[in-house]
Amino acid sequence: MKPVVGIDLGTTHSLVAYRKEDGTVEVLRDREGRALLPSVVALSPDGVSVGWGARELINNPKTTVVYAAKRLMGRSFEETAAERAHLSYPVIDKNGSPAIPDPERGRTLTPPEIGALILSNLRSRAEEALGCAVADAVITVPAYFNDAQRQATKDAGALAGLNVLRIINEPTAAALAYGLGEKKDGLFAVFDLGGGTFDFSLLEIRKGIFEVRATSGDTHLGGEDFDRAILTEWLESDPGLAAKAERPEVKDILRKEAERAKIALSKTSEVTVRLPSLEFSTTLTRARLDTLVAPFVSRAFHAVRSAMQDSGIEPQAVDGVILVGGSTRFLRFREAVAEFFGKPLLDSVDPDLVVAEGAAVQADILSGRRKDLLLLDVTPLSLGIETIGGVTSTLIPRNTTIPAQAKELFTTYVDGQVNVDIHVLQGEREMAADNRSLGRFTLSGIPPLPAGAPRIEVTFQIDANGILEVSAREQTTGQRANVVIHPSYGLAKEDVRELLKEAFSHAKEDFELRLLVDSRTEAQTVINATARALATVGSDILDERERQAIEAQTKILRTAMEGNDGKKVRDEIRTLDRLTQPLAERLVNHSLTEALSGKHLPEIPPEGGSHA
């Protein structure tokens, strides 16, 4: 077994999950049975620790406790200025990137290195829980993460010894955990309210393709704000307590109490807090908490409204709302969400675990174990082969959902050609040389027939892992050859974008050049077939006048082929076609008829280059 796990690398908590053979998803727990791992790394004189223990060291003056490193991930030092202002640990500028000093070990750690420490911890946890080595993983990121942030997350995975098969959006993962895409299509809102961030996304799911229609949110809105609001109220009501809370460890105790009270209020309507050591005791009601939280609710809905407006979608058009993040247990938020969309809430999956569970679903799909599942991905660039004249013949256009399959018939270009050279290409350009070469192979053993007669079926097949297999089969003999390619590997998102940009900017000249090359190829085919026909027929089929007209037009066509005007070549082909029409009708030889009528298949050159 080679398991693929799903990882939610969160701002406050991280988790790892795995989908078992029977289809159920299990969130993997630590030895103490805890599913969540605080995304906290402590750099202390005794060593580096991660998770619950690290979090306890927050007030230890000899220790640097790094939390919320996700906020720094893949961003430049300058870009993180606002974030750094909120962090209590030092962040320095290391060649333009943020880095955290670890003086004990005489080094600095970058955000991906911090992420790697968290991921390593989850990886060991998974290995222990599953009883085998774990390397392959899917990691989630917020939908708004840009390429640099995604790449940094991938780097963190690589540093942790993980083979990151894919980075997927958190809202997409949440939807997957609810079986959307596999069983159900539609428009879904994902409302993710965590410890320190609020992310709202609108997802459109059609035939297994997930499209993020809009995102918005607030990078500084979450459960910690509510804890702070409760704490502030306590401190304002009790000056003695406020004085004691000058000490960070006291403040920390109070903050934890505030969180505990808040969490209790999602189950009861009133909670009493007693802290005898601080001579403090108070009662908090749900009604009072709702009042304290009201400004945050309006801030969240401000973001929701702007996303809906940007997308031009009415709240009523949304088919369901998925709740993600610990803070959506907050009853006031649930009511507000239900009211805004007027739709039932999808909340049967634990909001703390839902993203990791969805990542595990995607991981399972990528493991290729389940052939029945849809894959939620598309080909980033078109795939095809090179045909005569160095042009690209596309079999699978870009943005095709995978797994995918395409078949097309090709033929030979030269009389008696016994092999074809299949050159597999990726890209949007018309000319093969401008596209990316993915590989090539030769199909030999083709029976020696006139050019255009053999039927060579080329099949492109992309499996759930994005692996492309190209095969070619000659239909009369059944002779086969194939090649297996990993097309998406080594092609970064930026590369794809760059290639697309190039294709667009060259579209017109590419098109004209292709037209010219195709016309020349077609002209050559028609000339060859005509010559062959003229050589085989006598005056009983073709009279002298007709023959001379055809020969004269062939000469005109040859001259046109030497020029650069594709349209002129096409016009001359059409004229020749008209002249040979009576001949074609009188001929019985099927392959000649087809060649003459111009309705031929695209040709593939023989091994060792093209044509005569």
12 contributes a contact to ligand ADP by CB under 6 A:
yes
Q: Do 528 and 573 touch, CB atoms closer than 8 A?
A: no
Chain centroid, CA 161 distance in Å: 21
**Residue corresponding to tokens 């016009």:** 571
Active site residue 8: yes
Nearer to ligand ADP, 222 or 389 (CB): 222
266 contributes a contact to ligand ADP by CB under 6 A:
yes
Q: Do 450 and 422 touch, CB atoms closer than 8 A?
A: no
Residues 411-430 within binding reach of Mg ion (CB under 5 A) = none
**Which one of 113, 155, 224, 474 is in contact with ligand ADP (CB under 6 A)?**
224
Nearer to ligand ADP, 98 or 196 (CB): 196
532 binds, among ligand ADP, Mg ion, none (CB under 5 to 8 A by kind): none
Q: Which stretch binds ligand ADP (CB under 6 A): 217-225, 233-241, 269-277, 387-395?
A: 217-225
259 contributes a contact to ligand ADP by CB under 6 A:
yes
Nearer to ligand ADP, 222 or 380 (CB): 222
Residues in the interface with ligand ADP (CB under 6 A) total 21
* Cα–Cα dist 465/481, whole Å: 22
330 contributes a contact to ligand ADP by CB under 6 A:
yes
* Cα–Cα dist 140/335, whole Å: 28
* Cα–Cα dist 545/586, whole Å: 16
Write down the catalytic residue from 30, 113, 155, 170. 170
Query: Which among 183, 160, 201 has a CA at the least distance from the CA of 5?
Result: 160
**DSSP per-residue string spanning 414-476:** STT--EEEEEEEESS-SBGGGSEEEEEEEEE------TT---EEEEEEE-TTS-EEEEEEETT
Structure tokens at 105: 């070990």
Q: Do 334 and 326 touch, CB atoms closer than 8 A?
A: no
Residues 342-361 within binding reach of ligand ADP (CB under 6 A) = 352
Nearer to ligand ADP, 17 or 373 (CB): 17
Q: Which stretch binds Mg ion (CB under 5 A): 47-55, 194-202, 493-501, 520-528?
A: 194-202
Beta strands in 267-331 (DSSP E): 270-275, 280-285, 320-324
Chain centroid, CA 340 distance in Å: 30
**Which one of 111, 112, 115, 196 is in contact with ligand ADP (CB under 6 A)?**
196
Residues in the interface with Mg ion (CB under 5 A) total 2
φ, ψ of residue 298 in degrees (nearest 5): -65, -35
Q: Which stretch binds ligand ADP (CB under 6 A): 147-155, 193-201, 388-396, 504-512?
A: 193-201
Write down the catalytic residue from 113, 192, 227, 364. 192
Per-position x/- string for 297-326, each x denoting binding to ligand ADP as judged by CB under 6 A, each - no binding = ----------------------------xx
> Which residues are catalytically annotated?
8, 70, 170, 192
Q: Which residues bind Mg ion (CB under 5 A)?
A: 10, 194
